[in-house]
Amino acid sequence: MSDTTHEQLANVVHELPSIVECKLCQDNNHGPTSYNGSVHSPLAVIGEGPGGVEDEYGVPLIGPSGQLLDKALWSVGVTRDKIYTSNIIKCRPKGNRTPTVDEGQFCANAWLDQELALVKPKIIIALGSVALKYLLAPTARITKDRGKWFSTKYGIPAIATYHPAYLLRLVGKDLVKAKWEVFYDFTAAVDKCKELAPDSGLKSEIIPDLLELYASRKNSRLDKA
Ligand code: URA
């Protein structure tokens, strides 16, 4: 099962860019940034789309937002290597703008849906508005809907929380409040995950150095460019 999931995901990653005609994909010199982490994890964290660092490495959520995500996960006893991380869109839009709802739908219908069908996590955490709008509804609002459980079209329960990039823009009391809210949301997700998958560990004792680990992914991207 483990090798099969890896292989099937590798096929998706390999084949999709050539069969799906996507403007974001065509505009992107580096190629899509796919998934990262454990394909057998009960916990999937879904972000928005790659930023500059992710685009360079081809690995989701490893730039400033990803590093803050790591700290938030650590605070609830989770390390990145034990979870599955991916994004709604796989190519960074020109100028690093926020992807539209339609772009999110197009990319995630083609790609994320296949990933989640293969990985079958027990719980999904939606990071920020773009992920929430895809996983719940285009009318959903992160300020109103974060911290509440909802059911996804995959039949997998999900909870949304603020995107780390939003936290990075906050200061003072707003930042303190938002950090606590993220902590409560992550705690709720981890508790439910442990309830649904009591035997799966979510924490490695040594935090992996992702940039080191993915240097080869970066180099293979540079070779292709
Ligand atoms: N990097 C990602 O991979 N996803 C985000 O949502 C933001 C930055």
Q: What pLDDT does residue 224 have?
A: 65
* CA 47 to ligand 1 centroid distance, Å: 5
Q: Ligand 1 in contact with 63 (CB < 6 A)?
A: yes
The CA distance from 57 to 111, in Å, is: 19
**Residue from 44, 52, 47 nearest 200 by CA:** 44
Q: What is the mean pLDDT of residues 199-207?
A: 88
Q: What is the mean pLDDT of residues 79-94?
A: 94
- Asked whether residue 44 carries a pLDDT value surpassing 50, the answer given is yes
* CA 119 to ligand 1 centroid distance, Å: 20
Query: Residue 148 domain-assigned?
Result: yes
Q: How many domains does the chain have?
A: 1
* Across 111-120, 176-185, 201-210, least confident range: 201-210
159 CB-contact burial (10 Å; exposed 0-12 / middle 13-18 / buried 19+): buried
- Asked whether residue 1 carries a pLDDT value surpassing 70, the answer given is no
Query: Residue 37 domain-assigned?
Result: yes
- Asked whether residue 2 carries a pLDDT value surpassing 80, the answer given is no
* pLDDT tens-digit series, residues 87-136: 999 998 888 899 999 999 999 999 999 999 999 999 999 999 999 999 99
Q: What pLDDT does residue 196 have?
A: 97
Statement: the pTM of the whole predicted model exceeds 0.85: yes
* pLDDT tens-digit series, residues 53-69: 999 999 999 999 999 99
Enumerate the β-bridge partners of residue 84. Answer: 37, 44
Alpha helices, H only, 41-171: 52-57, 64-75, 101-110, 112-119, 128-135, 142-145, 164-169
Which residue range forms the structural domain that includes residue 49?
Answer: 4-219
Pairing of strands 43-47, 36-37: unpaired
Q: Ligand 1 in contact with 55 (CB < 6 A)?
A: no
Residue that has been written with the tokens 């970066």 in this structure: 218
Q: Ligand 1 in contact with 86 (CB < 6 A)?
A: no
Query: Residue 224 domain-assigned?
Result: no
Q: Atom of ligand 1 at shortest distance to CA of 127?
A: 6
* pLDDT tens-digit series, residues 21-41: 788 888 887 889 989 999 999
Output the domain CATH number for residue 71: 3.40.470.10
Query: Residue 198 domain-assigned?
Result: yes
The CA distance from 114 to 137, in Å, is: 19
* CA 195 to ligand 1 centroid distance, Å: 28
Contact 95, 85 (CB under 8 A): no
The CA distance from 172 to 139, in Å, is: 29
Contact 123, 44 (CB under 8 A): yes
Q: What pLDDT does residue 217 have?
A: 80
Q: Atom of ligand 1 at shortest distance to CA of 60?
A: 3
Q: What number of CA atoms fall less than 13 Å from residue 155's CA on the CB side?
A: 2
* pLDDT tens-digit series, residues 127-179: 999 999 999 999 999 999 999 999 999 999 999 999 999 999 999 999 999 99
Query: Residue 225 domain-assigned?
Result: no
199 CB-contact burial (10 Å; exposed 0-12 / middle 13-18 / buried 19+): exposed
Query: Residue 200 domain-assigned?
Result: yes
Q: What is the mean pLDDT of residues 4-23?
A: 82
Q: Ligand 1 in contact with 41 (CB < 6 A)?
A: no
Q: Ligand 1 in contact with 54 (CB < 6 A)?
A: yes
